[in-house]
A and B are shown apart, each in its own frame.
Chain A
């Protein structure tokens, strides 16, 4: 009995200690409670407030959020763009870490951004939940000049919800010298790809790298596109319950079981080091790794679109960060003006952003010929492939819940060898319900 009471007091004490720690951290957070929505005077001395439009003549303050771009100088560049804008006081926040999650959560509060970038534009639930503002008409005469795949991706219900900033792409990259030595041509079909990988595999240099999970997270989309399918059809109906896709996923399973697929590289597919360090002869990766690859390999690398299955299409996955305006912004109009100024009107800044730091493709077609980085070598081939084989990374109605179900399906099929047809049917049940929920 006495020992029971002893435990009870200990528990209570623990509880208090715990809550004390929580309270203390809360206090610390309060000390650093800089939400960025400054109401103090700015450096120019003009009084600025969050509700700028209401305070007669004063410049509105806008919060603009970016995720952390890896390339040096990008942050300074976007801060420079913000400073150059005179109609509002734009403050740039550079957010490392789980950008998508923090941004999505912050849109629930009054402390979120006014202008923010989001991968492939806002999610369908942000649009449906009224968290982002309709940007229709912001592109003006330039609309035809923007990458049509991306404009379409960011359009829902006939309205535009984001302005594409720059186009990013993913493509199959290979070491020219290793292919020559093994006597293989850059692959055009999935079967050629597998044969080439088999031949290129030697000791600690593997044939192919599709990510440390064997392509489970990354290659689902490209394999659908290879098989001539997509996540959803134009009308929102389920897009990949057919035998071509079953066959395509079977190929991925075969690759996973082979000895030539690189698994468990120290840096995952989004970094070029597996290819650069000779851990693999071919790798699926992003255009953004090209500067690193050039530095490490010179011109000893080339790229081709992701090959096709019989009866399917080759593809280059394209995606774009889109600039969105939060509906909770105190100055929506000023925020829209700023988005138009930076991502529609200021073509020199767009070109600088796309090419001076990492390798991206400008979102406006008229700027692509001016992008010096894309005029030679593998980057030139990549840009051309994006024009010809570009396929949007995802469809807007494909919700996060669908993605999770899709990822589970991919793991079970590719890693465990589960029956693809049955697993696809499970995804279909979830996706159908989700599309119905979203549209309903």
Chain B
């Protein structure tokens, strides 16, 4: 970045007539292009090496039989895709997670919005409440999962939840061991909400604070009730943020892995219920079974499902916004 390579520019008059050198033109006005690449280049490079190449490689692998190798030789065409689509376990994990997404996305959305509104309205210790709700975001999913599994929802009397039940004289419940009723959803959903609500609350809080108070003042003069103000001012004004939050939540729901794996995996196996697609693919391709062909095919299918859901969702959301 020395100045030696810069074009000599003795006087404005000559500069206007002389054609700048190729290097100068590539660098752009005031080295704009150069600085663009200095700042953006490392990220693009990282993106290519760590994201795009693995994605392309994975698509490549999905067309080959590749047990315990990433440089396969036996081309099987769409065979892996057909196998995965025929695989009952994979299909059921996709099905479970569509249901899971339908539940968790609205729940997290509503809870984050609610906490954001409550915190925004709080007059005392607002910073404190904001931090308290946001803090869990800084907690590792693995750590939270282990706390939920081993101390809050342990099946014995010493677990926090069972100790509470004991106060009321109820028997201990093995939260994570039973499938009827499926208490494990309570454990997973509560862990997930605790971890995620704070983050989306901050997004909503920022958006809420950008809504001009004049709108509310005008509405108050017109005699709008609290609910009317919320319905006709707050919600529409939050639309861009809501769209972003919903999309993030949707993708997050399909990418579920950490808390599920750490809460539910038992010795060498993972139960077939509440098994996220990624956990199933982990056991196929990255666990002891190094079956990258089927694993990659499953990953591509999952990506397509997420993309499809996102497109449908976006369509739905923008149409609604335009009326």
Partners in one complex: yes
Quick one: which of A16, A101, A126, A411 contacts B68, CB cutoff 8 A? A126
Q: Which residues of B contact A123 (CB under 8 A)?
A: 288
Nearest CB to that of B176 among chain A residues? Answer: A264
B149-173 contact mask (Cβ, 8 Å, vs A): 1 or 0: 0110111111100000000000010
Q: Does A310 contact B (CB under 8 A)?
A: no
Interface residues of B in 215-273 (CB under 8 A from A): 239-240, 243-244, 266-273
Nearest CB to that of A3 among chain B residues? Answer: B240
Q: Which residues of B contact A262 (CB under 8 A)?
A: 155-156
Segment at the B interface, from A55-63, A188-196, A211-219, A237-245: A211-219
Quick one: which of A129, A212, A213, A266 contacts B151, CB cutoff 8 A? A266
Q: How far is the CA of A337 from the CA of B74 in the complex (A)?
A: 35
Nearest CB to that of B42 among chain A residues? Answer: A23
Q: How far is the CA of A329 from the CA of B10 in the complex (A)?
A: 63
Interface residues of B in 20-48 (CB under 8 A from A): 40, 42-47
Q: Which residues of B contact A416 (CB under 8 A)?
A: 179-180
Nearest CB to that of A126 among chain B residues? Answer: B68
Q: How far is the CA of A333 from the CA of B63 in the complex (A)?
A: 36
With A3-B240, A22-B51, A104-B288 known as contacts, the answer to whether A408 contacts B89 (CB < 8 A) is yes
Q: Which residues of B contact A411 (CB under 8 A)?
A: 179, 269, 271-273
With A7-B244, A26-B50, A263-B155 known as contacts, the answer to whether A400 contacts B271 (CB < 8 A) is no
Q: How far is the CA of A7 from the CA of B45 in the complex (A)?
A: 24
Are B287 and A101 closer than 8 Å at their CB atoms?
yes
* Number of residues from B at the complex interface, CB < 8 A: 54
Are B290 and A104 closer than 8 Å at their CB atoms?
yes
Q: How far is the CA of A403 from the CA of B288 in the complex (A)?
A: 10
Q: Which residues of B contact A100 (CB under 8 A)?
A: 287-288
With A128-B67, A212-B176 known as contacts, the answer to whether A265 contacts B154 (CB < 8 A) is yes
Q: Which residues of A contact B177 (CB under 8 A)?
A: 212-214, 263-264, 415
Quick one: which of B40, B68, B283 contacts A129, CB cutoff 8 A? B68
Are A266 and B68 closer than 8 Å at their CB atoms?
no
Q: Does B200 contact A (CB under 8 A)?
A: no
Nearest CB to that of A4 among chain B residues? Answer: B318
B171-187 contact mask (Cβ, 8 Å, vs A): 1 or 0: 01011111110000000
Q: Does B15 contact A (CB under 8 A)?
A: no
Q: How far is the CA of A148 from the CA of B257 in the complex (A)?
A: 41
Are B266 and A216 closer than 8 Å at their CB atoms?
yes
Are A270 and B69 closer than 8 Å at their CB atoms?
no
Are B47 and A22 closer than 8 Å at their CB atoms?
yes
Are B179 and A218 closer than 8 Å at their CB atoms?
no
Q: Which residues of B contact A108 (CB under 8 A)?
A: 68-70, 290
Q: Which residues of B contact A266 (CB under 8 A)?
A: 150-151, 154, 156, 158-159
Q: How far is the CA of A284 from the CA of B152 in the complex (A)?
A: 25
Q: How far is the CA of A347 from the CA of B271 in the complex (A)?
A: 42
Q: How far is the CA of A268 from the CA of B156 in the complex (A)?
A: 12
Interface residues of A in 1-37 (CB under 8 A from B): 3-4, 6-7, 10, 15-16, 19-20, 22-24, 26
Q: Which residues of A contact B153 (CB under 8 A)?
A: 264
Q: Which of B89, B151, B269 has the most CB of A within 10 A?
A: B269
Quick one: which of A218, A267, A404 contacts B283, CB cutoff 8 A? A404
Q: Does B49 contact A (CB under 8 A)?
A: yes
B126-164 contact mask (Cβ, 8 Å, vs A): 1 or 0: 000000000000000000000000110111111100000
Nearest CB to that of A407 among chain B residues? Answer: B269
Q: Which of B273, B287, B288 has the most CB of A within 10 A?
A: B288
Q: Does B211 contact A (CB under 8 A)?
A: no
Are A101 and B51 closer than 8 Å at their CB atoms?
no
CB distance from B161 to the nearest CB of A (A): 10
Nearest CB to that of B243 among chain A residues? Answer: A7
Q: Which residues of A contact B240 (CB under 8 A)?
A: 3, 6-7
Q: Which residues of A contact B176 (CB under 8 A)?
A: 212, 264
Q: Does B106 contact A (CB under 8 A)?
A: no
Are A401 and B284 closer than 8 Å at their CB atoms?
yes
Interface residues of A in 387-412 (CB under 8 A from B): 399-401, 403-408, 410-412
Are B266 and A403 closer than 8 Å at their CB atoms?
no
Are A105 and B289 closer than 8 Å at their CB atoms?
no
Q: Which residues of B contact A50 (CB under 8 A)?
A: none
Q: Does B286 contact A (CB under 8 A)?
A: yes
CB distance from B68 to the nearest CB of A (A): 4
Q: Does A154 contact B (CB under 8 A)?
A: no
Q: Does A269 contact B (CB under 8 A)?
A: yes
With A26-B46, A264-B174, A265-B154 known as contacts, the answer to whether A403 contacts B69 (CB < 8 A) is no
Q: How far is the CA of A405 from the CA of B88 in the complex (A)?
A: 10
Q: Which residues of A contact B243 (CB under 8 A)?
A: 7
Q: Does A235 contact B (CB under 8 A)?
A: no
CB distance from A208 to the nearest CB of B (A): 13
Q: How far is the CA of A218 from the CA of B180 in the complex (A)?
A: 21
Nearest CB to that of B154 among chain A residues? Answer: A266
CB distance from A341 to the nearest CB of B (A): 28
CB distance from A261 to the nearest CB of B (A): 9
Quick one: which of A10, A24, A216 contacts B271, CB cutoff 8 A? A216
CB distance from B176 to the nearest CB of A (A): 6
Q: Which of A19, A105, A405, A415 has the most CB of B within 10 A?
A: A19
Q: How far is the CA of A83 from the CA of B84 in the complex (A)?
A: 48
With A7-B244, A264-B154, A403-B269 known as contacts, the answer to whether A23 contacts B69 (CB < 8 A) is no
CB distance from B286 to the nearest CB of A (A): 6
Q: How far is the CA of A213 from the CA of B266 in the complex (A)?
A: 7
Are B155 and A212 closer than 8 Å at their CB atoms?
yes
Are B50 and A22 closer than 8 Å at their CB atoms?
yes
User: What are 29 A-B interface contacts by the 8 Å CB criterion?
Assistant: A3-B239, A19-B47, A20-B43, A22-B50, A23-B43, A23-B46, A23-B47, A23-B50, A26-B46, A26-B49, A100-B288, A104-B68, A104-B288, A125-B289, A125-B291, A211-B266, A212-B176, A212-B177, A218-B267, A264-B154, A264-B156, A266-B150, A266-B158, A266-B159, A400-B283, A401-B291, A405-B89, A408-B89, A415-B180
Known contacts A218-B267, A264-B154; can you find 6 more A-B pairs with CB under 8 A?
Answer: A23-B45, A123-B288, A217-B268, A411-B179, A416-B179, A416-B180
Closest 8 CB pairs of A and B: A264-B155, A23-B46, A400-B289, A407-B269, A263-B174, A19-B47, A263-B177, A129-B68
> Which residue numbers of B lie inside 8 Å of A, CB to CB?
40, 42-47, 49-51, 67-70, 88-89, 150-151, 153-159, 172, 174-180, 239-240, 243-244, 266-273, 283-284, 286-291, 318
